Amino acid sequence: MTHPGSSPLDERGTPRAELAQATRALQDEVRGTRIDGRRARELAGIVAEVARELRDSGADDEVGRLHMGPGPVNRGQTLSPVYNVDTWDGRRMQGTVTFARFHHGSVGTAHGGAIGLWADDVLGRLSRELSEGRARTACLHVQYRASVPVGAPVWFTAWADDADGRKRELHATLEDDGTALVTVDGLFVEPRIPLNGH
């Protein structure tokens, strides 16, 4: 399933997707690196040069209608974990998400803020997929029940209750071997005035 105007942020198998993946790898390796100061300064100059080239090439942050077909999501948003959608029936999606080294909190587990970032992203994606209107996060309640591992896929389910006017109640869970790790309840609201003219 592909929607017209799918976001370039969701391109798969393209050079820009490769660039995003390389950026993720850089983020993972920068975290906690033991490289010596002299070489770190040299590499900082190289990375700054790459950033300047990307800036000078221009950008289009308008994401338009998002793509929720099976496969990896969020290649272009390099802060958020990549999650794989295995099933999507129009109201519920299931798949796996892997928190990378970049998302590490302590003792081999994901940072609570990274989990919250993923939760807001996946529910926001679900909200926008359900209708053409763009909703904003009004409330996000994340309950941390158990530690979420880093570097290993965990199963997620995200689903929507019936819409109530401009309001949408959305939910998600993270599970590992049948054990609930995280539960999420979110309220998303469409603004009275359309965002960005849409």
Instruction: Label residues 111-140 b or e (16+ Cβ within 10 Å = b).
Output: beebbebbbbbbbbbbbbbbeebbbebeeb
Per-residue pLDDT reduced to its tens digit, 87-125 = 988 889 999 999 999 999 989 999 999 999 999 999 988
Domain assignments of the chain as residue spans, ordered by start? 1-198
Stated pTM of the model: 0.78
**Residues 160, 170: Cα–Cα separation, whole Å:** 4
Whole-angstrom Cα distance, residue 174 to residue 154? 7
The two tokens of residue 99 are 């928190």
CATH number of 1-198: 3.10.129.10
- Amino acid symbol at 34: R
Q: Encode pLDDT of 32-67 as tens digits.
A: 899 999 999 999 999 999 999 988 988 765 544 445
Residue in the structure block whose two tokens are 């109201």? 91
- Nearest Cα neighbor of 44 from 30, 56, 31, 34 is 30
